[in-house]
Structure 1
Amino acid sequence: MGYGLLDRTMIHRLTEQWHYGGIGVIVVHVSGNTSASVLEALTEWMNEQRRLVWRYRMENDFFYFLQRGKSEDKLDKLIKRAVDALRSKLKRIYAGEEELSATHADRSAFAIGHASAYPSSIGRSAEATIYYAIKDAISAVMRYRIRQEDAAAVLDSPAGAETDTWGGLALDESRISGTGGQGRQIAQPAAVPSSAKTPFPIGMLAKSIPTLSPSERVSDLARMFESNPHVQGAIIASEGRPIGLIMKENMNQLLAGQFGLPLYWNRSVSKIMDEEALVVEADLPVEHVAQLAMARDISRLYHVVIITRGGKLIGAASIRAILECMTQLRTEEARTANPLTGLPGNAAILREMQSRIDTGKKFAIIYADLDYFKWFNDCFGFSRGDELIRFLSAVLQEVASLSGAKDDFIGHIGGDDFIVLSDAEDAEQLCRHMITRFNDGARAYYGGVDVSSVMDRSGNTVIQDGVTLSLSLLTWDGLQVVTTADISEAAARLKKQAKSITGSAYVAGDVFEKHLGEGKTT
């Protein structure tokens, strides 16, 4: 879909001046029929956007491209203003049409996703750079729609239903459970929504597949397979809910037996269906589905995976499609990883941060930065400097694994800058442990040299016993509206304060706290 938007004129227009600060991509999806008032609101919004340089419509999806001027605000601020204005206009329209605000319809009436594209420093073409930005914006729209549909399912559930909720998602007590007494394997969302893990839920791989009622005859199914040689399986469903699976190969083996045809040809398909088929909910991460699929008995290893949303069938995914998606994800991770430490790079960091913001669950952000690292490189060489950076990487990973939460994320921004995203209850304890561990091990990289002073970037001598670690600790409560840009700006303020403290130290504060907390050393 992204490549379908691209043409030579568009690429030329977007890349003419994008060196001033990149391109902003905004994608709007409007559910149902697009009314005249919605189109008017979109047109009015477009007329207000001075930096709008390209637009495109594909049925109910609207694509807008904004370009920052040479001396204007940064791109993220430009996008935020544009998205806020657009969301405000659409909300007013939908609140006034047919009193939608009193129904469930307005919860998924529209969805907005956005992303940024900057000139590549790694040789990627302009087309690919813009395509990936479009894909990220579409993924954000898809994640929002999935969450809204799941939230609507919770609100529409019968009164008194024992349903746990977290972040608007209906949750089961476990990932896998049996239903209906049939032993059917069903994977439910984990206690952390899949969007916190990956922008690729299994629902994005769902493809249509022939569906039959349990009373259909085996002979009808056989004729269907014969007339459609590319179809390899069919789902047996009742009232829109899957109850079994029949793969073409298994049916042919059964009918080829000595008494196969007389026994089953005129029987119902329910007699030969596989009741142990793997059924997963659409928002389960692709990675987890791959693990479930590979853990099946070898006789079912290449059976399709049935995908549902709220228990209702939406399609199926082949093992080939799942493995190809996994390969693409792994390739993308490897491509964007920092070559020195192997940790996720900037693109993955921003995706992970946005995913955590999207879940609405509080988390902590720790920025790690070395003080006087330039002096260290000048004195001991770049090779020893790389070793010190790898040591810091190991410290952060070790402390996170021992004292952090299960799903803590560590990324390498570049150089001696790192970031930790943590769900730990006591993030300050993490900072104290990181500083202690770094201080204890950093001396080994001086090669026995006794250091009592260092030199700052201005060439001034500073009484300091070598490189120290500065940490900026931010917390977000999960309630206030926040962007990745807000977090970066707050972290920059904290970082400056932490670096003004002698020795290794951390400074803690809230993302929106104007007068941030006091610095602390250990």
Structure 2
Amino acid sequence: MNEISYGLLDKTMLHRLQESWHQDGIGVIALQLLQGTPAAVDEVLNEWVSVQDGLVWHSTMGDDRFYFLACGLSGATELESRLRLGIDHLKEKLCKAFEAIRIVSLKELDGKPEFAVGHAVSFPSSANGRSMEVSMYEAIKEACEMVVSLRSGERDDQQEHRQEEFFSSVPSSVSIGSLAKTVPMFAPGSLVSDLSRMFESNPHIQGAVVVQESRPIGLVMKENMNQLLAGQFGLPLYWNRAIARIMDKEALVVDAELPVEQVVQLAMARDISRLYHLVLITRGDKFVGAASVRSILECMTQLRTEEARTANPLTGLPGNASIQREMQRRIDAGRPFTIIYADLDYFKWFNDCFGFSQGDALIRFLASVLQEVAQVGGKRDDFIGHIGGDDFIMLTDRLESEKLCRLLLARFDSGVRAYYGPTEVLNVVDRSGVAVQQEGVTLSLSLLSWNGAIPLTTAVISQAAARVKKQAKGIRGSAYVASDVFGEQLGEGTT
């Protein structure tokens, strides 16, 4: 993949790509299998190719694979609208492709993928008068250069950002229970012949759950059952036997409140023979439904696409739509959690004195402070969002949240002085134009707690945050005020 030849673009391929490129644009995936890649990865690639209606062309050159996907937006009339939507659709298709390819591979070699992937997009508007052939060649070259950089470890910031856009973890924002679908249920004593007839009369059903006292105790997938019965002695051995004799007793069973991305990790950790089996979902040990791996991956893709669309462009952190969704998910789970709102004091003064570029740098610094503290003192599923401007939010299940606030204040105060350069700051100006004796920008934190019992809405959280934020800003210097969401003040502190 170090050198890309125009020979890859043969006449047949160009003919197939031409119409889609002019209408919708083309997304390119360049994939290089690494040494020792398990054969299962190639099997998944071939299976994925066979079901892709948006796949216009694919090529294999040794260990290199090239896939060309169309947006599928030919119904759009305005070019600008079509291209804007096209980029989102291509990203979604690329995400689905990566997940389908990656799901087999990640469980091998301690979770390290056995392939390197690059991607690029090509639209007529970005060709700048160049032919489709030249534009596609440059897109392929860009995707391949990403692969080479990943292999060599020489990833620059831009490449790393593009790769993480597709491979970073999806925020914990949707519970697996929302994907639960009704599937056939059988008692453990039901006959295999009854199950076989059900599958035969319902070809779209791929699995059935064995339930005892409303609790799932096993799973039978149609494909596995057919393989068993197709054996030399399959029918006489199993046809009139109980389903319990052939069910999978190690089916993956998860609680309905578990986040989707955690379920995917559990699913990928299964033996390869169970990789595409249904995931069984319970609530309080009672069976509520099942989800296919495909539906889970599609959900993750939608979340990632929405996250990319609503993320704050300055910090890359999740925006308001994701913040609202994550707060609601935690409320629905009914478990106690805390909310930390972060807001800069005298930020307008800082922008006026040092310029908007430096103001943007200060906002990015605050974002990095939140992320560093969450990593050091928070919990694995802590959520950080960027509301807008200099306003941020952190959601955590950690009970000792005041310690997090003290860490945030200390880390911010120790690093903010670097953004003044050689200027010595003794006074600032508030929004009313009044001079205040204060050594620069400070940080105000509103710490809100919820016990998980009293009914709560996101609107109540916002109102409480505004109230506590005003109290925190009334304290000189960087400070936090702790309260529960319904008004009982729990404490305050400074650096």
TM-score, normalization: structure 1? 0.55
User: Is 298-307 or 460-469 further displaced after alignment?
Assistant: 460-469
User: What SS does the corresponding residue of 1:451 show, helix, strand or coil?
Assistant: coil
Cα separation, 1, equivalents of 2:189 and 2:307 = 47
The 5 A counterparts of 1:437-476 are 437-476=411-450
1:521 alignment partner in structure 2: 494
2:273 alignment partner in structure 1: 299
The 5 A counterparts of 1:116-195 are none
Instruction: Summarize deviations over 1:60-119 as a string: whole Å, max 9, x none.
Output: xxxxxxxxxxxxxxxxxxxxxxxxxxxxxxxxxxxxxxxxxxxxxxxxxxxxxxxxxxxx
Q: Tell me which of 236, 240, 243 is aligned to 2:217.
A: 243
Cα separation, 2, equivalents of 1:496 and 1:364 = 18
Unaligned runs of 5+ in 1: 1-122, 124-196
Change (3 A) 1:437 1:311: closer
**Contact preservation (8 Å) 1:497, 1:519:** no
Instruction: Summarize deviations over 1:202-257 as a string: whole Å, max 9, x none.
Output: 33323333333444444444343333322222333445443332222222222333
TM-score, normalization: structure 2? 0.57
Deviation at 1:299, TM superposition (A): 0.5
Q: Tell me which of 366, 369, 373 is aligned to 1:399.
A: 373
User: What SS does the corresponding residue of 2:196 show, helix, strand or coil?
Assistant: helix
Instruction: Summarize deviations over 1:410-450 as a string: whole Å, max 9, x none.
Output: 22211001123344444333222222211111122223333
2:359 alignment partner in structure 1: 385
Q: Tell me which of 382, 385, 409 is aligned to 1:408.
A: 382
1:353 alignment partner in structure 2: 327
Instruction: Summarize deviations over 1:327-381 as a string: whole Å, max 9, x none.
Output: 2233333333322222232233334434445555554433221122122223332
Change (3 A) 1:342 1:460: same
1:42 alignment partner in structure 2: none
Deviation at 1:199, TM superposition (A): 6.5
Deviation at 1:297, TM superposition (A): 0.4
**Contact preservation (8 Å) 1:366, 1:473:** yes
Cα separation, 1, equivalents of 2:456 and 2:188 = 50
Equivalent AA in structure 1 for residue 480 of structure 2: Y
2:251 alignment partner in structure 1: 277
Deviation at 1:388, TM superposition (A): 0.9
Change (3 A) 1:351 1:203: closer
Change (3 A) 1:200 1:362: closer
Change (3 A) 1:444 1:479: same
Deviation at 1:325, TM superposition (A): 1.8
**Contact preservation (8 Å) 1:363, 1:422:** yes
**Residue 430 of structure 1 pairs with residue 404 of structure 2:** yes
**Contact preservation (8 Å) 1:357, 1:482:** yes
User: What SS does the corresponding residue of 1:242 show, helix, strand or coil?
Assistant: strand
Aligned length: 326
User: What SS does the corresponding residue of 2:439 show, helix, strand or coil?
Assistant: coil
Deviation at 1:396, TM superposition (A): 1.7
**RMSD after superposition:** 3.2
**Contact preservation (8 Å) 2:257, 2:333:** no
Q: Does 1 or 2 have the higher relative contact order (CA < 8 Å, sep 6+)?
A: 2
User: What SS does the corresponding residue of 2:317 show, helix, strand or coil?
Assistant: coil
Equivalent AA in structure 2 for residue 300 of structure 1: R
Deviation at 1:398, TM superposition (A): 1.8
Change (3 A) 1:334 1:237: same
Deviation at 1:511, TM superposition (A): 4.3
Change (3 A) 1:512 1:235: closer
Change (3 A) 1:339 1:255: same
Deviation at 1:510, TM superposition (A): 4.7
Instruction: Summarize deviations over 1:127-183 as a string: whole Å, max 9, x none.
Output: xxxxxxxxxxxxxxxxxxxxxxxxxxxxxxxxxxxxxxxxxxxxxxxxxxxxxxxxx
User: What SS does the corresponding residue of 1:449 show, helix, strand or coil?
Assistant: coil
Deviation at 1:310, TM superposition (A): 4.1
1:417 alignment partner in structure 2: 391
User: What SS does the corresponding residue of 1:303 show, helix, strand or coil?
Assistant: coil
Cα separation, 2, equivalents of 1:393 and 1:458 = 27
Unaligned runs of 5+ in 2: 1-80, 82-170
